[in-house]
Amino acid sequence: MIDELLTARPFIPRPVYTERIKPFIDKEIIKVISGQRRVGKSYILFQLIEEIKKSGQSVNIIYINKELKPFGHITNDTILYDYVKSSLKPGTKNYLFVDEIQEIEHFEKALRSLLAENCCDIFCSGSNANMLSGELATYLAGRYIEFNIHSLGYDEFLTFFKLENSTQSLNKYLTVGGMPYLNVIGLDEFSVFEYLRNVYASILLKDVVSRGGIRNIAFLENLIEFLADNTGNLFSANNISKYMKSQRASVSTQAVLNYLKPLANAFFVHKVTRYDIAGLKIFEVGEKYYFEDIGIRNCIRGFDRIKDINKVMENAVYLHLIRSGFRVYVGQIGKSEIDFVAQKDGKTIYVQVAYMLSDETTINREFGNLAKISDNYRKYVVTMDEYNAGSNYNGIEQLHLKDFLLNNY
């Protein structure tokens, strides 16, 4: 079956992920590919299978995809274990790939035994973070490594659609987002948003409502619309609760938190906490939320370029930073806010996002906030200004968004 799947549709390489995973091939550790539904996890697995097949050695690929009917009978750890053991071939290197593994009850018990027996090299994918914080962390602590897959970055978007780096291409990306299957759908916005609405419904049904035990679906949808309207705004669960009450939906702060958690577990939204730059501490209250895919955010509330451009720009910058491997926070220095504090491998970068530096007040705010930071790490103001892109103000770099999204930091 795997050979048929590999030849059914040509796939476009995504080396930003495969190059990170390849060094762990043939290592005795479980490789977990995680991320929101439909961001391309299956195709990352396919690319790894192709890489293994190119090695020249005799290999046996055991492939299980819980979204395909032939594997519907694999429902628990015992059936999974028995299926894998019966599929092993002696005298050759065996590799196990399990797609959407969270659909198999107690899968972690089977993986633990297979790993201990060292009978195959194990790769699996999943669309729910609870899989890692719960089952895997409990049974497989220290025995797995996670690679989080995201929707297309701007550079991948250009590659997938064979586009030049231009403001027009950037605007299209900020409108339709980066779900990989758009390469099949095309970039016609009516078709794109019809597809994205179906993806959104699938995520809510399979990964949020079902797994999160959600009962009040109307409240959940209102909450998601609130998150879309307030992308990049700093707020707390208490503020959301007050908003819901203003909409005649009386809910407690705890109920809001209970609904936010499964949204984050499904990788649908990302919670970003605040970081006190001067005190080097994390605040426990007040956070921002960003969507895994900009296009899905836009299909929920529509994309009003005048009203939403700053929100969508911030979302794009955030996604680029986490895709580049940074831990990302909202910065706080005194009473001033820094949009992003990003940390990786002992280095930090600071980023402010503004649509246009149209007046002195905006210029002073964006550059002034960064100027308050006394360390020598790189600082950026990211805008859509065409004329001042590439400028440097007292060590603070101004970049056009399309250039920032193509840089590796």
User: Does residue 121 sit in the same domain as residue 160?
Assistant: no
In a domain, 409, yes or no: no
pTM of the model: 0.94
SS3 for 3-71, per residue?
HHHHHHCCCCCCHHHHHHHHHHCCCCCEEEEECCCCCCHHHHHHHHHHHHHCCCCCEEEEEEECCCHHH
> Where among 129, 148, 167 does a domain terminate?
148
> Where among 148, 180, 214 does a domain terminate?
148
Statement: residue 170 has pLDDT above 70:
yes
Closest CA to 31 of 15, 43, 16, 20: 20
In a domain, 385, yes or no: yes
pLDDT digits (tens, 9 = 90+) for 274-314: 988 876 666 556 789 999 999 999 999 888 888 899 999 99
The total number of residues shown for the chain amounts to: 409
User: Does residue 205 sit in the same domain as residue 259?
Assistant: yes
- Please compute the mean of the pLDDT values over residues 227-251 and round it to a whole number: 80
What are the structure tokens assigned to 372, written together?
């308050």
Helix (H, G, I), strand (E, B) or coil at 103: helix
Model confidence at 71, pLDDT cuts 50, 70, 90, reads very high
User: Does residue 203 sit in the same domain as residue 134?
Assistant: no
User: Does residue 215 sit in the same domain as residue 274?
Assistant: yes
Range of the domain at 261: 154-404
User: Does residue 124 sit in the same domain as residue 243?
Assistant: no
Closest CA to 190 of 202, 180, 182: 182
User: Does residue 277 sit in the same domain as residue 377?
Assistant: yes
User: Does residue 140 sit in the same domain as residue 186?
Assistant: no
pLDDT for 51 equals: 94
Q: Which CATH number covers residue 70?
A: 3.40.50.300
User: Does residue 223 sit in the same domain as residue 323?
Assistant: yes
Dihedral of the alpha carbons of 284, 286, 287, 289, in degrees to the nearest 10:
130
User: Does residue 181 sit in the same domain as residue 124?
Assistant: no
Strands (E), 191-316: 269-276, 281-291
Statement: residue 388 has pLDDT above 80:
no
Statement: residue 133 has pLDDT above 70:
no
Closest CA to 408 of 344, 362, 365, 334: 344
**Contact assessment for residue 329 and residue 273, using Cβ atoms and an 8 Å cutoff:** yes
> Where among 148, 180, 197 does a domain terminate?
148
pLDDT digits (tens, 9 = 90+) for 340-385: 999 999 999 999 999 998 888 888 899 999 999 999 999 999 999 9
In a domain, 346, yes or no: yes
Q: Could you count the other beta carbons within 10 Å of the beta carbon of residue 365?
A: 16
User: Does residue 288 sit in the same domain as residue 365?
Assistant: yes
User: Does residue 53 sit in the same domain as residue 89?
Assistant: yes
Statement: residue 130 has pLDDT above 80:
no
Closest CA to 57 of 32, 91, 9: 91
pLDDT for 1 equals: 73
**Contact assessment for residue 338 and residue 277, using Cβ atoms and an 8 Å cutoff:** yes
The values of phi and psi at residue 114, to 5°, are -65, -40
Total number of domains constituting the chain? 2
pLDDT for 231 equals: 95
User: Does residue 123 sit in the same domain as residue 233?
Assistant: no
Output the average pLDDT for the chain: 91
Closest CA to 405 of 343, 289, 313: 313
In a domain, 9, yes or no: yes
Model confidence at 101, pLDDT cuts 50, 70, 90, reads very high
